[in-house]
Chain A
Amino acid sequence: MDVGQMQRTWVEYTKSLFREGFLDAQFTQLQLLQDESNPDFVVEVVSLFFEDSERLLNDLARALDQQIVDFKRVDAHVHQLKGSSSSIGAQRVKNACIAFRNFCEEQNSEACLKCLHQVQQEYYLVKNKLETLIRLEQQIVAAGGSIPIEELSF
Chain B
Amino acid sequence: MESCNCVDPQWPPEELLMKYQYISDFFIALAYFSIPLELIYFVKKSAVFPYRWVLVQFGAFIVLCGATHLINLWTFTMHSRTVAIVMTVAKVLTAVVSCATALMLVHIIPDLLSVKTRELILKNKAAELDREMGLIRTQEETGRHVRMLTHEIRSTLDRHTILKTTLVELGRTLALEECALWMPTRTGLELQLSYTLRQQNPVGYTVPIHLPVVNKIFSSNRAVKISPNCPLARIRPFAGKYMPGEVVAVRVPLLHLSNFQINDWPELSTKRYALMVLMLPSDSARQWHAYELELVEVVADQVAVALSHAAILEESMRARDLLMEQNVALDLARREAETAIRARNDFLAVMNHEMRTPMHAIIALSSLLQETELAPEQRLMVETILKSSNLLATLINDVLDLSRLEDGSLQLDLGTFNLHSVFWEVLNLIKPIASVKRLAVTLNLAPDLPEYAIGDEKRLMQAILNVVGNAVKFSKEGNISITAFVAKPDSLRDLHFPDFFPVPSDNHFYLRVQVKDEGLGINPQDIPKLFTKFAQSQSLATRNSSGSGLGLAICKRFVNLMEGHIWIESEGLGKGCTAIFVVKLGILERSNESKLPFLPKMPPIHGQTTFAGLKVILMDDNGVSRTITKGLLVHLGCDVTTVSSSDECLRVVSQDHNVVFVDVCMPDGFEVAIRIHEKFTKRHERPLIVALTANTNKVTKENCMRVGMDGVILKPVSVDKMRGVLSDLLEHRVLFEAM
Contact residues of A with B, CB < 8 Å? 15, 18-19, 21, 24-26, 29-30, 32-33, 35, 38, 41, 44-45, 48-49, 51-52, 79-80, 82-89, 95, 98, 153-154
Cβ contact of A35, chosen from B624, B628, B635, cutoff 8 A: B635
Closest to B365 in A: A19
Closest to B721 in A: A29
Cβ contact of B635, chosen from A33, A48, A87, A88, cutoff 8 A: A33
- Interface: B394 (CB within 8 A): no
B716 touches A84 (CB 8 A): no
A-B contact pairs, 29 of them (CB 8 A): A18-B365, A19-B365, A26-B716, A26-B718, A29-B718, A32-B635, A33-B628, A33-B632, A33-B635, A33-B719, A41-B631, A44-B627, A48-B624, A48-B627, A52-B624, A79-B665, A82-B694, A83-B622, A83-B625, A83-B665, A84-B625, A87-B622, A87-B628, A87-B715, A87-B716, A88-B624, A89-B716, A98-B353, A154-B368
B718 touches A45 (CB 8 A): no
In whole angstroms, what is the CA distance A92 to B451 when docked? 47
- Interface: B7 (CB within 8 A): no
In whole angstroms, what is the CA distance A18 to B371 when docked? 14
B716 touches A86 (CB 8 A): yes
| Cβ of A77 to closest chain B Cβ, rounded Å | 11
Residues of A within 8 Å of B542, CB to CB, are none
- Interface: B623 (CB within 8 A): yes
Closest to B621 in A: A80
Closest to B663 in A: A83
A-side interface mostly: helix
Number of inter-chain CB pairs below 8 Å: 80
A29 touches B719 (CB 8 A): yes
| Cβ of A88 to closest chain B Cβ, rounded Å | 6
In whole angstroms, what is the CA distance A82 to B716 when docked? 12
Residues of B within 8 Å of A18, CB to CB, are 364-365, 368
Cβ contact of A154, chosen from B361, B364, B625, cutoff 8 A: B364
In whole angstroms, what is the CA distance A92 to B504 when docked? 54
Closest to B350 in A: A102
User: Which size class do B's interface residues fall under?
Assistant: 20 to 34
In whole angstroms, what is the CA distance A88 to B623 when docked? 11
In whole angstroms, what is the CA distance A26 to B631 when docked? 13
A153 touches B371 (CB 8 A): yes
A88 touches B628 (CB 8 A): yes
- Given A38-B634, A45-B628, A45-B631, are A21 and B622 neighbors across the interface (CB < 8 Å)? no
| Cβ of B312 to closest chain A Cβ, rounded Å | 56
In whole angstroms, what is the CA distance A52 to B644 when docked? 15
Closest to B633 in A: A33
| Cβ of A115 to closest chain B Cβ, rounded Å | 17
Cβ contact of A48, chosen from B623, B629, B663, cutoff 8 A: B623
- Interface: B435 (CB within 8 A): no
- Interface: B367 (CB within 8 A): yes
Residues of B within 8 Å of A32, CB to CB, are 635, 719
Cβ contact of A29, chosen from B361, B622, B632, cutoff 8 A: B632
| Cβ of A22 to closest chain B Cβ, rounded Å | 12
- Given A18-B368, A19-B368, are A84 and B622 neighbors across the interface (CB < 8 Å)? yes
* Residue among B357, B628, B694 with the highest chain A CB neighbour number at 10 A: B628
| Cβ of A8 to closest chain B Cβ, rounded Å | 14
In whole angstroms, what is the CA distance A35 to B717 when docked? 18
Closest to A18 in B: B368
In whole angstroms, what is the CA distance A86 to B665 when docked? 14
A21 touches B361 (CB 8 A): yes
B631 touches A38 (CB 8 A): yes
| Cβ of A99 to closest chain B Cβ, rounded Å | 11
Cβ contact of B625, chosen from A15, A41, A87, cutoff 8 A: A87
* Residue among A52, A84, A85, A87 with the highest chain B CB neighbour number at 10 A: A87
